[in-house]
Structure 1
Amino acid sequence: MSTDYDLLARQLEALLDGRDWLTNSAQTCAFIMHGVPDLNWAGFYLQRQPQLLTLGPFQGQPACNPIPFAKGVCGAAARSRQTQRVADVHAVADHIACDAASRSELVVPILAETQLWGVLDLDSPLPARFSAADQAGIEQLVAVFVARSDLAAAS
């Protein structure tokens, strides 16, 4: 059964009725954690310092903090500003294992105009959990989050 990301995007638009980035990021990761099946972690890492991601709102087990741009799947998404979809995190040489149960990962970079604001990180205990359709759907949800949030206030 596939996830109806168009429906989730409409629901997220309705949920995010203010511009506050902190409230919206907390709501977004909770919404994704409960709306997208087979996840064990969903959350944001923010760029607060050059070349470093700092933990933001999340749902799941306690997380690694901070994450340098030079390491892991989140770092690769931040460096490249491109979504990273990894079928087997154990095959990634510099993977940062915060939760040993995680097997696959999807990380979407978030831009505020041309500046990297942070990343949305999703983990799953299932290998190869994320398809191209999941990637497009999560990117659609990130676009809703960006459109509804004042990301400049997070700087």
Structure 2
Amino acid sequence: MFDFAPPADLPAEERYRQLADAADALTQGEPDGVANMANLAALIWEFIPDLNWAGFYRVVDGELVLGPFIGRPACIRIPMGKGVCGTAAQTGETQRIEDVHAFPGHIACDAQSQSELVVPIVRDGKVVAVIDLDSPKPARFTEDDANGVEQLAARIGSRI
């Protein structure tokens, strides 16, 4: 059994360092990307407070396809360039959205979501997936969150 949950008062930089270390330990030596994404979604859920959805979308045949996640049922396929996830995948740039309802073309899978952070996962110079985090709190995600999840994505990119 794994217990990676950090203390609630842990500073953001240390929280994300511990998250990346735990992700590395949990996925090391496991070649199955889906299994790794499933464990990573659970790990993210444990480490990052105030989420109502945490998971992955994978790039498959030029579109995003739902991967392992924790949260309410979600959209299965997202075209590249559509919504926050599709924009992150198409541009290769992190999307930190304070108010999802103000984002042009936002795809609402859960009406409770108010803010969103989507980080591309790049392998061999190509976006292969995105990490998608939703929160019921407006403006939930900070630059520290974006930087921390970007570091996580860089560390686990070869394992998904």
Scaled by the length of structure 2, what TM-score is found? 0.88
Could you tell me which of 31, 43, 46 is aligned with 1:34? Answer: 46
Unaligned runs of 5+ in 2: 1-8
Q: Which amino acid aligns with 2:67?
A: G
Q: CA deviation at 1:133?
A: 0.5
**Correspondence for 1:125:** 136
**How many angstroms apart in 2 are the aligned matches of 1:19 and 1:131?**
32
Large movers: runs of 4+ above 2 Å: none
Q: How does 1:1-155 map to 2 (within 5 A)?
A: 1=9, 2-3=11-12, 4-17=15-28, 18-50=30-62, 52-147=63-158, 149=159, 151=160
Q: CA deviation at 1:19?
A: 2.7
Unaligned runs of 5+ in 1: none
| 1:19-59 alpha-carbon deviations (Å, 9 max, x no partner) | 32111111111100121100100111111112x11111111
Scaled by the length of structure 1, what TM-score is found? 0.90
SS in 2 for 1:107: strand
Question: CA RMSD of the aligned region, Å?
Answer: 1.2
| 1:78-119 alpha-carbon deviations (Å, 9 max, x no partner) | 111000000000101200000000000000111111122111
Q: Which amino acid aligns with 2:35?
A: T
**How many angstroms apart in 2 are the aligned matches of 1:114 and 1:9?**
21
Count the aligned residue pairs: 148
Percent pairwise identity: 50
